[in-house]
């Protein structure tokens, strides 16, 4: 049988279904589903994603017979509508839209009003009796087709100040015509003005392309279909896929659909709505619409739309139908929906429904409330909240006690707060961000081309657009704060500044945005961290009931430990003792120890450090009362503690009353060609055992003192960088002796463990031998990745981005565990270790412990816990629950909240 590439949908039903997203894309599958549900959808057909993939695979050639199949479905569409494509009698116009499996709002291309030319224009006028509407549709078609299909780009122009700005040539002509006819909005233009606009647009096309604007409708259709498939690989789509982990081989479908018109006058309109508030999750219909407009007017932000409630006043019957449909869709899909609709002369049509993008706060609230409403069970609710999304909940907000100067207010389009330096282009945002600067992107309105700049910005401010504009939707998806539609802001791109209510803010000056209130403030306003409770606590409670992995934190201070405990950490998986050495005056004692020539002198210096370390451990143990604390003994090479510049060396020599020459000599003697593989970790503890002995003494004195006060202390002593069993054996013997002496002296018995960090390939390979001495393993995945790949994390930034860009590596191995290489070593280490020591406790403590795909991997290979930075703890908890649910080992969970 000949392969089917096209799927029709119309009044008689649809050939597709909602579960065919991989083939029809999200838009095509959901349009088919709405059609089958009896919801009013303009008929059309979907060209499958397989065509897109074959197109790119076969050197941009379509499968044989595709156009014949398109012609056949086009004829079916003509029959369904009683209209003729390309005829001046009852002409059929269509839209051509993209539709990938995953929602990619605004990233690919769309063409509306396709099929218009001189002849069909006359037919539209005759059919509708509305000449103004016909010419408005024609000028829109020329503009959109020219940009999307003919590739007419914005012109770059130098301002008087020498700055380069981009000019949309069609907008320039539009502004000239508006000025000529004294029109404020495009809807104020009369038929004569629109006729002039169309002719000027055609002249522009001829000047730019050297050819007349295409007249043949079927040729227009071929070109548009081609352009939409091509848009799968435009730069903004590629960038979006990278940001959201969407595979390149999914491809996009193309939807060819009968046009319905929202720009036929005051009885027509278009809108975008959500079945619940996408920013807060409130169960309230939320959206916007514009009368006498087409879909792109709402999302492009060119005109500021009205709230959906106003539609109830203007067209109560249409509003009631819309409410009935949105409720039907939410109950059918059992999730919050993002819908697009058009009203043509008081008749409602649905153009799209899809799972609505939402903030993390909204995702959590919707998930919990849908369980209470009986729409979904707990299992589904947990899977509805992506672990990475929780990062948004941990972002700062404006301190209510801070003194602020509010200079303007826009629409609160995406919650949270951001502080940064003003930039006016996405390129400037990326450039400044690459230098470590925090930026706020300020635009008239954002477009999909701005995706890179939006991604690096702390927040986004737009002059135009509403709550469903491009800026708002993308910012919410990214977890960025956004203030939209602030009409008071007047941008002068040429002078690189904006004016607002008497204030002049230049590029590079600091501002603060509050995406929850819409406030714009001058300067750097103090931000505070959020407290998590309510619905968040509920979803995390459900996640904790399901997950098998324990979640610990990496914390070196009592403050970090407390933050982590508040976020649900079940102990500390990595306490880096060297970080304590840099605080206050203790660095002086550390340097004295390093400069000492004899063991006696070193012990004298270490005695000064002992009470400080002991105090640190006591505070951490207090916070972690009842939970295990893994303490990594000194790991970095000693030279890291010494000054390196001439000025620093001279100052230290003077302070320590030693000669500059001696200090330099000592510093030079500690230098290594490759310090990360040099005299560090257990190698340091073996050559200078007094260092580790002091640290263990501090640990056990702190633990014993607190145990006497009724605290439950569970220290786990971790020896770093062990590559050979004998290194662990040698070090462990001496440390146990110190621990026993302290406990005997203080007459307290502390339950403790001694283990090691597996961060060298040899340690993983010989894990069965090492496990005879180690009571626990903690995989240091940062260093294990470095030593497995044979690269330095600090230097790899020079080429790793190129590797990711060119798909040499699928992901940055320092972000997500390289499961085929590093992961195999971890798996080997776990299996060998547990074969030698039953019940061996195993975890990871690199930053991978808070990355969802790495957490899932850790669950699969049977680790006991993951450990991550405090603010990643909730992400790890939820990811651990997702891992269980994805594995499918959990029985159905009760729907009772």
Give buried/exposed letters for 170-203 (b at 16+ CB in 10 A, else e). Answer: beebbeebbeeeebeebbebeeebbbbbbebbbe
**Helical segments of 373-465, H only:** 378-384, 390-393, 426-434, 451-456
CB 771 within 8 A of CB 749: no
Task: Find, among 324, 312, 236, the residue nearest to 275 by Cα.
Answer: 324
From 486, 575, 845, 858, active-site residue: 845
3-state secondary structure 333-381: HCCCEEEEEEEECCEEEEEEEEECCCCHHHHHHHHHHHHHCCCCCHHHH
Residue 109: CB atoms within 10 A of its CB come to: 24
Which DSSP helix (H) or strand (E) runs through 655? helix 646-656
Please tell me the distance from the alpha carbon of residue 396 to that of residue 483, in angstroms, as a whole number. 16
Contacts of 767 (CB under 8 A, 6+ apart): 758, 777, 828, 829, 830, 832, 833, 836
Please tell me the distance from the alpha carbon of residue 200 to that of residue 205, in angstroms, as a whole number. 9
From 470, 848, 859, 882, active-site residue: 470
- Annotated active-site residue 845? The verdict is yes
Please tell me the distance from the alpha carbon of residue 331 to that of residue 52, in angstroms, as a whole number. 33
Please tell me the distance from the alpha carbon of residue 283 to that of residue 684, in angstroms, as a whole number. 60
CB 721 within 8 A of CB 728: no
State the burial class of residue 579 (Cβ atoms within 10 Å of its Cβ: 0-12, 13-18, 19+): middle
Q: What does the CA dihedral 158, 161, 165, 171 come to, rounded to 10 degrees?
A: -90
- Partners of 341 in the β-ladder: 271, 350
Please tell me the distance from the alpha carbon of residue 235 to that of residue 183, in angstroms, as a whole number. 36
Please tell me the distance from the alpha carbon of residue 337 to that of residue 448, in angstroms, as a whole number. 22
Active site residues: 470, 845
């Amino acid at each position: 049988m000949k392969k089917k590439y096209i799927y029709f949908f119309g009044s008689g039903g649809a050939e597709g279904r909602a579960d065919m997203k991989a083939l029809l894309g999200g838009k095509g599958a959901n349009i088919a589903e709405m059609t089958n549900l009896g919801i009013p959808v303009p008929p059309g057909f979907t060209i499958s994603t397989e065509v897109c993939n074959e197109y790119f695979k076969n050197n941009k050639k379509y499968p044989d017979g595709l156009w014949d199949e398109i012609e056949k479905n086009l004829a079916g569409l003509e029959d369904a509508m009683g209209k003729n494509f390309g005829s001046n009698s009852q002409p059929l116009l269509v839209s051509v839209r993209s539709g990938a499996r995953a929602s990619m709002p605004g990233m690919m291309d769309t063409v509306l009003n396709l099929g218009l030319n001189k002849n069909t224009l006359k037919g539209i006028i005759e059919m509708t009796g509305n000449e103004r509407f016909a010419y408005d549709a024609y000028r829109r078609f020329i503009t959109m087709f020219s940009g999307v299909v003919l590739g007419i780009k914005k012109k770059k122009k130098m301002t008087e100040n020498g700055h380069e700005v981009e000019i949309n040539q069609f907008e320039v002509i539009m502004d000239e015509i508006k000025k000529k006819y004294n029109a404020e909005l495009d809807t104020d233009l009369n038929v004569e003005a629109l006729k002039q606009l169309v002719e000027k647009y055609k002249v522009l096309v001829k000047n730019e392309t050297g050819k007349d604007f295409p007249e043949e409708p079927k040729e227009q259709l071929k070109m548009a279909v081609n352009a939409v498939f091509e848009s799968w690989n435009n730069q903004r789509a590629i960038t979006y896929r990278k940001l959201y982990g969407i595979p390149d081989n999914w491809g996009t479908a193309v939807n060819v659909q009968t046009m319905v018109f929202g720009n036929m006058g005051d009885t027509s309109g278009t809108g975008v709505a959500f079945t619940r508030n996408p920013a807060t999750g409130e169960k309230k219909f939320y959206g916007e619409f514009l009368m006498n407009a087409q879909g792109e007017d709402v999302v492009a932000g060119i005109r500021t739309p009205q709230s959906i409630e106003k539609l109830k006043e203007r067209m109560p019957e249409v509003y009631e139908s819309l409410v009935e449909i949105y409720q039907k869709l939410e109950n059918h899909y059992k999730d919050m929906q993002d819908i697009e609709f058009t009203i043509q002369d008081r008749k409602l049509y649905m153009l799209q429904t899809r799972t609505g993008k939402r903030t993390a706060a909204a995702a959590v609230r919707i998930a919990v409330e849908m369980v209470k409403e009986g729409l979904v069970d707990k299992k589904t609710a947990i899977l509805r909240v992506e672990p990475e999304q929780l990062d948004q909940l941990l972002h700062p907000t404006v301190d209510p006690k801070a003194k602020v100067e509010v200079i303007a207010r826009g629409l609160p389009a995406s919650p949270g707060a951001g502080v940064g330096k003003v930039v006016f282009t996405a390129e400037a945002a990326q450039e400044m961000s690459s230098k470590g600067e925090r930026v706020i992107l300020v635009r008239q309105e954002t477009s999909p081309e701005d995706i890179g700049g939006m991604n690096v910005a702390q927040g986004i401010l737009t002059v135009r657009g509403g709550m469903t504009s491009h800026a708002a939707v993308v910012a919410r998806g990214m977890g960025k704060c956004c203030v939209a539609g602030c009409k008071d802001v007047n941008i002068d791109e040429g002078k690189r500044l904006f004016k607002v209510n008497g204030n002049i803010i230049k590029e590079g000056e600091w501002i603060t945005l509050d995406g929850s209130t819409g406030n714009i403030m001058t300067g750097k306003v103090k931000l505070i961290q959020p407290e998590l409770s309510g619905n968040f606590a509920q979803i995390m409670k459900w996640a904790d009931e399901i997950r098998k992995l324990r979640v610990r934190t990496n914390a070196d201070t009592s403050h970090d430990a407390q933050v982590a405990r508040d976020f649900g950490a079940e102990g500390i998986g990595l306490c880096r003792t060297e970080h304590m050495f840099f605080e206050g005056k203790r660095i002086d004692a550390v340097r004295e120890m390093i400069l000492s020539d004899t063991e006696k002198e070193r012990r004298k210096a270490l005695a000064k450090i002992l009470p400080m370390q002991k105090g640190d451990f006591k505070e951490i143990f207090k916070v972690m009362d009842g939970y295990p604390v893994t303490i990594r003994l000194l790991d970095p090479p000693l030279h890291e503690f010494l000054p390196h510049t001439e000025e620093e060396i001279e100052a230290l020599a003077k302070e320590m009353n030693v000669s500059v020459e001696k200090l330099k000599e000592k510093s030079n003697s500690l230098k290594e060609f490759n310090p990360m593989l040099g005299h560090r970790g257990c190698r340091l503890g073996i050559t200078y055992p007094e260092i580790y002995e002091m640290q263990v003494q501090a640990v056990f004195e702190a633990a014993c003192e607190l145990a006497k006060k009724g605290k439950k202390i569970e220290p786990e002593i971790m020896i770093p960088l062990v590559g050979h069993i004998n290194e662990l054996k040698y070090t462990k013997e001496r440390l146990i002796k110190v621990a026993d002496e302290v406990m005997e002296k203080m007459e307290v018995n502390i339950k403790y463990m001694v283990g090691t960090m597996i961060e060298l390939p040899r340690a993983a390979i010989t894990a069965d031998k090492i496990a005879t001495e180690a009571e626990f393993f903690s995989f240091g995945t940062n260093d294990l990745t470095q030593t497995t790949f044979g690269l330095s994390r600090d230097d790899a930034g020079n080429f790793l981005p190129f590797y990711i860009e060119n798909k040499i590596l699928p992901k940055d191995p320092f972000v997500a565990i390289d499961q085929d290489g590093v992961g195999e070593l971890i798996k080997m280490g776990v299996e060998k270790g547990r074969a030698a020591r039953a019940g061996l406790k195993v975890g990871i403590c690199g930053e991978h412990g808070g990355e969802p795909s790495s957490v899932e991997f850790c669950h699969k290979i049977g680790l006991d816990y993951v450990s991550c930075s405090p603010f990643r703890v909730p992400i790890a908890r939820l990811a651990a629950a997702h891992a269980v649910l994805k594995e499918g080992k959990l029985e159905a969970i009760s729907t009772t909240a």
